[in-house]
């Protein structure tokens, strides 16, 4: 553990710390950010009136559009001279939002990312290859500072040039790889085509995040690279990576609750759900100075995993995020996340772990085509074998997700590989309009 005294804090002390920090934070945003002052005044919320953490439900929400409307610096809570760094959201959906960090924010973020690497089992003895993109995206620099803070030897490769990534992994004896899960698979594929046996390298753990992925994909990655794959979570509006991380037990992601307050709310009523039930994740930053967010609606769906973790950390765990409400597809009235399709595909021998969902229109009817690559080991000499594979995929999707889709088998590597976030959904419906 990187900060054991904090990470194993008794929960009563933790709640007291959270309340204390929350009260300070509310006062600060009310005094320094016009948007919060206006919202709170309109809602009749008096920032000093908060007595318990339960009172949080009286506080108005912050949404992505608030940050977009404040573009670029409208939600900063400190003068620009106190900001030492800016990043922006990766623009997964819509227009970007800009976030600013004070020197203190960078310090805390470095600690939190060091915690994340330590959660994955990394120490100062490790060699960390950071393959998240460096730049406005929070992934690269966030991981970089954390890895350095931990004392690990840090290799700032950034994204791209996969053959070089493989070469460095091999030549430098890299032990920890930080990148998106889909890129980890591309690295494995590239290594194989270069004749490098990636499983025999010193690489032992992957710190993977920035896109939703399934448990089945984890097994695939662990098997292909011969490593332990750890899921990490964060978003630029809240801070970047380092908001929550799995430990070696891989039973949910510990939320770093001394810095972030997590709520799970029913997305329709916006009332809290019971621990263990799914809902929208809402975060409040407790220590952020540059751009604090209060009750920020992430649109990510998760739940709190009840019970204690064997690792000894007292921070509660959130379940891996299966999808963002923005990514959710509504297929003839049924809600489907791309990661659910992925989970189904991974269970079918004969198809490769690469897929794309193409949405189109036939007349007024929405069509959904799932393109999957024929696996390298599938003996497809006979057309009927291929047709039966196609039916099997469509049948498995229909039975587990209750939607019917067209399945198209494509050649290996026909689906575009991503060096950052994988593009799982291609929506062609707009183009025809």
Partner 1 sequence: MVEQLSVFLANEQGRLARMCRLLGDAGLNMHALVVADTADYGVARVICDRPHTARGVLERDGFAVSVTRVIAAEVPDRAGGLADVLELLGNEGVNVEYLYCFLKPDAATAVDILRVEDAVAASEILTRAGVSLLHASQVYEPDAV
Residues that bind partner 1 (CB under 8 A): 193, 374-376, 378-383, 386-387, 408-414
The rounded Cα 192 to chain-centroid distance in angstroms is 27
Nearer to partner 1, 365 or 383 (CB): 383
Nearest to 119 by CA among 281, 282, 228, 275: 228
Show the 3-state SS of 189-213.
Answer: HHHHHCCCCHHHCCCCEEEECCCCC
Please say which residue, 112 or 351, places its beta carbon nearer to partner 1: 351
Q: How far is the CB of 376 from partner 1 (least distance, A)?
A: 6
Q: Which is nearer to partner 1, 360 or 375 (CB)?
A: 375
Nearer to partner 1, 21 or 408 (CB): 408
Burial of 199 (0-12, 13-18, 19+ CB in 10 A): middle
* Three-state secondary-structure class, residue 391: helix
Instruction: End-to-end CA distance of the chain: give it in Å, rounded.
Output: 54
Give dist(CA 61, CA 417) in Å, integer: 37
Q: From the CB of 389, what's the least distance to partner 1, in Å?
A: 11
Min dist. Cβ of residue 405 to partner 1 (A):
14
C-beta of residue 39 within 8 angstroms of C-beta of residue 60: yes
φ, ψ of residue 14 to 5 degrees: the values are: -65, -45
Is 26 exposed, middle or buried (CB count within 10 Å of its CB: 0-12, 13-18, 19+)?
buried
Task: Pick the closer one to partner 1 by CB: 71 or 380.
Answer: 380
Q: How far, in Å, CA of 171 to CA of 85, rounded?
A: 33
In contact, 208 and 229? CB cutoff 8 Å: yes
Q: How far is the CB of 317 from partner 1 (least distance, A)?
A: 41
Q: How far is the CB of 381 from partner 1 (least distance, A)?
A: 4
d(CA 248, CA 117): 11
Q: Is residue 238 within 8 Å of 283, Cβ to Cβ?
A: yes
DSSP 139-151: HHHHHHHHHHHHT
Distance CA 303, CA 300 (A): 10
CB 382 to partner 1: min, Å? 6
**Least distance to partner 1 from the beta carbon of 314, Å?**
50
Cβ proximity to partner 1: between 278 and 390 the closer is: 390
CB atoms within 10 A of CB 400: 13
CB of 377 to partner 1, least distance (A): 9
Closest approach of Cβ 380 to partner 1, in Å?
6
The span from the CA of 133 to the CA of 61, in Å, is 30
- Residue closer to partner 1 by CB (options 68, 408) is 408
Q: Residue 199 or residue 408: which is nearer to partner 1 going by CB?
A: 408
Q: Based on CB atoms, which residue is closest to partner 1, 305 or 386?
A: 386
Q: Which C-beta is closer to partner 1: that of 15 or that of 408?
A: 408
Give the closest residue to 180 by CA, choosing from 231, 242, 134.
231
**Cβ atoms of 405 and 393 closer than 8 Å:** no
CB 238 → partner 1: shortest distance, Å? 40
């Amino acid at each position: 553990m990187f900060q054991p005294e904090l990470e194993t804090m008794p929960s009563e002390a933790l709640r007291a710390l959270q309340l204390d920090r929350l009260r300070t934070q509310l006062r600060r945003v009310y005094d320094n950010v016009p948007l919060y002052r206006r919202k709170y005044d309109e809602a009749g919320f008096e920032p000093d009136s908060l007595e318990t953490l339960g009172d949080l439900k009286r506080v108005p929400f912050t949404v992505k559009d608030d940050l977009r409307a404040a573009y670029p610096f409208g939600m900063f809570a400190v003068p620009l001279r106190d900001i030492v760094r800016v990043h922006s959201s990766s623009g997964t959906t819509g227009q970007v939002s800009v976030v600013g960090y004070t020197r203190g924010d960078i310090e805390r973020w470095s600690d939190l990312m060091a915690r994340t690497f330590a959660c994955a089992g990394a120490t100062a003895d490790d060699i960390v290859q950071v393959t998240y993109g460096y730049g406005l995206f929070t992934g690269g620099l966030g991981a970089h500072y954390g890895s350095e803070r931990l004392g690990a030897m840090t290799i700032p490769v950034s994204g791209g040039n996969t053959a070089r990534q493989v070469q460095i992994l091999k030549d430098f004896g890299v032990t920890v790889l930080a990148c998106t899960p889909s890129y980890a698979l591309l690295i494995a594929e590239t290594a194989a085509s270069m004749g490098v046996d990636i499983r025999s390298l010193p690489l032992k753990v992957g710190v993977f995040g920035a896109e939703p992925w399934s448990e089945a994909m984890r097994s695939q990655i662990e098997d292909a690279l011969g490593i332990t794959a750890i899921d990490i979570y964060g978003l630029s509006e809240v801070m970047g990576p380092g908001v929550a991380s799995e430990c070696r037990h891989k039973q949910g992601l510990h939320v770093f609750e001394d810095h972030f307050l997590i709520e799970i709310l029913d997305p329709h009523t916006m009332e809290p759900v019971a621990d263990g039930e799914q809902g929208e994740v809402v975060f409040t930053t407790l220590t952020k100075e540059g751009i604090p967010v209060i009750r920020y609606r992430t649109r990510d769906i998760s739940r709190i995993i009840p019970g204690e973790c064997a690792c000894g950390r007292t921070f509660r765990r959130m379940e891996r995020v299966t999808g963002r409400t923005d990514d959710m597809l509504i297929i003839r009235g049924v809600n489907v996340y791309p990661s659910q399709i992925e989970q189904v595909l991974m269970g079918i021998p004969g198809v490769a772990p690469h897929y794309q969902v193409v949405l189109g229109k036939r007349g007024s009817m929405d069509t959904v085509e799932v393109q999957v690559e024929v696996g390298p080991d599938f003996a497809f000499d006979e057309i009927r074998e291929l047709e039966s594979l196609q039916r099997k995929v469509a049948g498995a999707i229909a039975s587990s997700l209750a939607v019917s889709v067209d399945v198209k088998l494509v050649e290996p590597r026909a689906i575009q590989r991503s060096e950052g976030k994988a593009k799982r959904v291609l929506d062609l419906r707009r183009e025809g309009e």
